[in-house]
Amino acid sequence: WRSTCVVVPRLAGRGVMPIERRRFEDEFPIMFKFYHERGKLSEYQLQKVHELKQRWKTGLVFWLTYDNQEIEIPEWVAVNVMINNKQNVGRGSRICMSLNHTKGYGCNRLHEGTCTYVHECALCGQDDHGVFQKRGNGSWICTRLRKWYEEEERYKNLGFGDPRKHEEALTELALRPRPVKGQAVVRKESGDAGLPPDKPKAGPVAESPDAKAAPHQQADDACKRSAGLADNCGGAGADDDAGPHPSPPTQPPPPRLPQNWQAIWSDEQQLYYYWDTTTDQTTWEAPELDAGTLEAAREAVLRARSTQAVGRCPEKGSAEECSTEPSKEASNGFARTRAIELGTYVCTQHWRPQPGTENCLRVFHGERLAVTWVDGQLGGWAYGHVAGDEPQSGYFPQAVLAAGTSATQLPAAGQLCSVTERFAAPEEVDGYLSVGPGDTLRVLHRAEPPGAWFYV
């Protein structure tokens, strides 16, 4: 007879049922994303997490419990701040903790114009709220916090225990490759083996040739070198062929930089360092853009976004039509025949990255996607996030993007809408309804802008 050994994560506490890695990713995407990103932090970034906690402690910055007891700000806050500011670690150390206080009052000095700290949510990274602030009806403003609480409660109810008591095991689990039969394993050589965690190289002269290439060119070359893989290295998901060739870059796109600066990716530290080509100096901190460059970039993004929108809903009729149907440009291959610019688009089909592909974002038909970077290739890759959820960012094919029609009014709760386009509910996520042309639906609840979903 032959015994079979199955490796499961060791979870603290008795009576705790281990969760399988695939189920963890599919059913608890917010929790999975956090522990996956937590596990990918380099030693340098973990050191900064520790320094950030110490700065709060020595500065007498504490949180209050529900019964007004002072507690140290927990580690997950510093970890999230670091995840949201990977490319600018110095910025992460200046997050305003008054805005992110447990009492949810926000920052009074911000309203007075006297606070000089960075104002963004310590959980989701959005700049219009703190992590514990609420709307007038008592609901959380931070969508990420609400989803985390929902997933955490469901996780406990299913018998998996308290995730905060076995975070190391969940981090280890999230870092494992998604199990797939016959999956090829490619070893990636690092060009930064000798790079100390606290000091970048003195320039890219010692880098391998790949490090000097643009991110999409690095991916192209790596794809060509990888023997035994399918022709489409990055690949589309199981239900489509939208993925461009070659694979997406293996690292996030670099931030905008001043003239004469270059961003160079460190495989060892898993972040960019920056090289001033005029002085040959390097730094881990992203150099700041001057005010004029920032304003020009902001205006370019706003111009691009102003030309994009979601479907419109007519105002009258017993069964008003509400459509997220792509424009005629999209049905004729918009993303394949025209260059994608920065802005907001409608996703025209589900797309799932191949298992083991890093830095890609699973997207669903109907979602609004904010594109913040493109590879410059016709029908290539775009980088961005679902509108309103910026920290959940990744690469997705330009081929799934379409310009939406102009939005004038969204249907209200109780309103009837006619379906004009087929939508197939994704199999791996609960809570979606498949609909087809001719169906009439009554809206029970609509998502707050910029959400694209309705509960019927």
What is the end-to-end Cα distance of the chain in Å, rounded? Answer: 54
DSSP state of 305: H
| The predicted structure's pLDDT at residue 2 | 38
With beta carbons less than 8 A apart as the criterion, state whether 73 and 40 touch: no
Are residue 35 and residue 133 in the same domain, yes or no? Answer: yes
Residue 77's Cα: distance from chain center in Å? 17
Of 283, 308, 337, the one marking the end of a domain is 283
| The predicted structure's pLDDT at residue 152 | 92
Question: pLDDT of 107-138, one tens digit each?
Answer: 888 877 888 888 889 888 888 888 899 888 88
Q: How far apart are CA 325 and CA 348, in angstroms?
A: 8
| The predicted structure's pLDDT at residue 321 | 38
pTM for the model: 0.46
Average pLDDT over residues 210-227: 37
Question: pLDDT of 286-341, one tens digit each?
Answer: 887 766 655 665 565 555 444 443 333 333 333 333 333 433 444 444 445 566 78
| The predicted structure's pLDDT at residue 153 | 93
Question: pLDDT of 329-378, one tens digit each?
Answer: 444 444 455 667 888 898 888 888 877 677 888 888 888 888 888 877 77
Cis amide leading into 200 (omega within 30): no
Coil, helix or strand at residue 279 = coil
184 in any annotated domain: no
Q: How many CB atoms lie within 10 A of CB 195?
A: 18
| The predicted structure's pLDDT at residue 199 | 53
Domain range for 159 is: 21-175
Are residue 33 and residue 167 in the same domain, yes or no? Answer: yes
Most confident of 160-169, 217-226, 241-250, 402-411: 160-169
Q: Could you list the beta-strand ranges (E) of 258-362.
A: 261-266, 271-276, 281-283, 343-347
Mean of the per-residue pLDDT values of the chain: 71
Are residue 136 and residue 228 in the same domain, yes or no? Answer: no
| The predicted structure's pLDDT at residue 328 | 42
Q: How far apart are CA 130 and CA 447, in angstroms?
A: 20
Domain count, the chain: 3
Coil, helix or strand at residue 372 = strand
137 in any annotated domain: yes
201 in any annotated domain: no
Are residue 274 and residue 348 in the same domain, yes or no? Answer: no
Average pLDDT over residues 26-47: 88
pLDDT tier at 15, thresholds 50, 70, 90: very low
Are residue 31 and residue 142 in the same domain, yes or no? Answer: yes
Query: Which residues neighbour 189 within 8 Å (Cβ) at sequence distance 6 or greater?
Result: 208
